[in-house]
Structure 1
Amino acid sequence: MSKCGRERNKKVLQFENVAFSYHDKKQGRSVPVLQNINIDMYDREFIAIIGPSGSGKSTLFRLISGLENPDEGRIFINGEVQKCRLGKVGYMPQQDLLMPWRTVIENAALPLELKGVRKEEAHKQILPLLEEFGLRGMEHRFPHELSGGMKQRVSFLRTSLSGSNVLLLDEPFSALDAITRLSMQEWLMNQWEKRKATIVLVTHDVSEALFLADRIFIFTERPVRSLQEVNVPLGRPRRLNDLNEPAIISLKNDLIEQLRGKVIT
């Protein structure tokens, strides 16, 4: 049983002997990124992925989301091989990508509209969620009227409304100032605790990974042949002060040293 009390019995995301290469036009050859990767992620886990720039983290997300397909191997979502994975998982990119001509409620409604839900019905479903997401009274505001943290809340709400139980978050707080980022980390944890979803977070912030995740996967080589896995030795609920525990400080320092030694240029 994991530290957060969730049994690892239902796999929601699996990579089975997955390999992927991209074509380098300058060199005129294929460059391997992943080689025979095997990953299991479980129901309602919070997974963090860390690694130096260029190590393959974004490639992993592109494969999960269906923007790329593996050269070899299979990818399972909720126990089924999904050859076409577009729309099968929720995806929140680094930038909020809110449509500037749409209000908060109209931006949040986009995934429901794409499923054919009528505009009025979509708004009816979203209105009760606005207070929970800290957006009460903001439904008719446009993105330029929102703070950075509020924009990310709208983006996460939109991602949650994808209907998937697997949510991919690609450095969602990297553009925020330090204080807002800490506040958003606490908010995200609270949202995750309320929802029946598995979250996979890419981050360059080791402290963020330790605070949020049950397990951390580390990219340490290129091409990636295996992912080092670390179980975070913290129970739940958590507080930011838990990061000051001696064991966590030691683990943080170890992870930083690993990443410093694997910078990819």
Structure 2
Amino acid sequence: MSNSALQFKDISFHYKNSNENAPEQNVLEKLSFNVKPGEFISIVGPSGSGKSTLFKLITGLEEPSFGDILINGESYDNRLGRVGYMPQQDLLMPWRTILSNAALPLELKGVKQQDAHHQVMGLLEEFGLKGTEHKYPSDLSGGMRQRVSFLRTVLSGSNVLLLDEPFSSLDAITRLTMQEWLLDQWEKWKTTVLFITHDVDEALFLSDRIFVFTKSPVKKLEEVNVPLDRPRKLRDIHHPEVIQLKEHLLDQLRARVEL
């Protein structure tokens, strides 16, 4: 088994400008980093700093201009379907029941519908969704819909999951509840998670390490180790050492916005 779940090796990426006379927009320049199996990594940075581009490259929706991306130690010509992806919006199909929505990744992989539904039924209780199988997305709260979306992401079969601000649309109390729930699920499934957020408190509570997008184009990510043991509670982010780290992160992000 590889000692790397995800690796960027000298990745450069630029967007071509529709105006031939305008310069290309460089986003990443010879960026390298390594994520170990089972790590929880949060990615923070201002809007437009390259966070979503990073996810597009990992999923294969974009291809690097230079360099190589390895998933579980392997390089692929086509990375589509190699990682699980959970976007900001749950993207549940309103005409499908919760059972059918959750089973979609299995069906796309060729699993017979009956077998896919049987597999999902065994997981609904574990994901706090028992009794919702015959309901529709409109019948559920925002937090419950995000649980369905996360279950669908897990059922992609990949050990690398990309979560793009999945709780940004939730109210404050639901968001805190979902953060605790997500950590419980991560510890059970032993997956590798990359989590985009604008919330520094959220990043500190969830993560082993935090990647900070600062200068553009991104040549190197500032890496911050979170000094908290696991399991952890929300109140742990109020430790003096963590508060000091939070101030450092906020200073970094303010400096980026002021550029």
Fold shared by both chains (TM-score > 0.5): yes
What is aligned with 1:23?
16
Deviations 1:85-128 (A, max 9, x none): 00000000000000010010100000000010011000100111
Secondary structure at the residue paired with 2:61?
coil
Structure 1 residue 77 corresponds to structure 2 residue 77: no
What is aligned with 2:217?
223
Deviations 1:1-43 (A, max 9, x none): xxxxxxxx71010000000000122563311000000010000
Q: How many residue pairs end up in the alignment?
A: 257
Give the letter for the 1:22 counterpart: Y
Partner of residue 32 from structure 1, selected from 16, 23, 26? 26
What is the CA distance between 1:264 and its match in structure 2? Answer: 7.1
Deviations 1:118-174 (A, max 9, x none): 110001001111011110000111011110000000000000000000000000000
Given that residues 90 and 166 in structure 1 are in contact (C-alpha distance below 8 angstroms), is that contact kept between their aligned partners in structure 2? yes
What is aligned with 1:3?
none
What is aligned with 1:89?
83
What is aligned with 1:181?
175
- Which shifted more, 25-34 or 56-65? 25-34
- Counterpart mapping for 1:166-177 below 5 A: 166-177=160-171
Structure 1 residue 113 corresponds to structure 2 residue 119: no
Give the letter for the 2:139 counterpart: E
Given that residues 53 and 264 in structure 1 are in contact (C-alpha distance below 8 angstroms), is that contact kept between their aligned partners in structure 2? no
Secondary structure at the residue paired with 1:109?
helix
Given that residues 53 and 263 in structure 1 are in contact (C-alpha distance below 8 angstroms), is that contact kept between their aligned partners in structure 2? no
Structure 2: gaps (5+ residues): none
Distance 1:29 1:127 in 2: 53
Say what the alpha-carbon RMSD is for the aligned residues. Answer: 1.1
Give the letter for the 2:87 counterpart: P
Structure 1 residue 46 corresponds to structure 2 residue 40: yes
Given that residues 54 and 264 in structure 1 are in contact (C-alpha distance below 8 angstroms), is that contact kept between their aligned partners in structure 2? no
Distance 2:211 2:174 in 1: 25
Given that residues 47 and 217 in structure 1 are in contact (C-alpha distance below 8 angstroms), is that contact kept between their aligned partners in structure 2? yes
Distance 1:245 1:83 in 2: 45
Distance 1:159 1:264 in 2: 36
- Counterpart mapping for 1:51-200 below 5 A: 51-200=45-194
Displaced runs of 4 or more, over 6 A: none
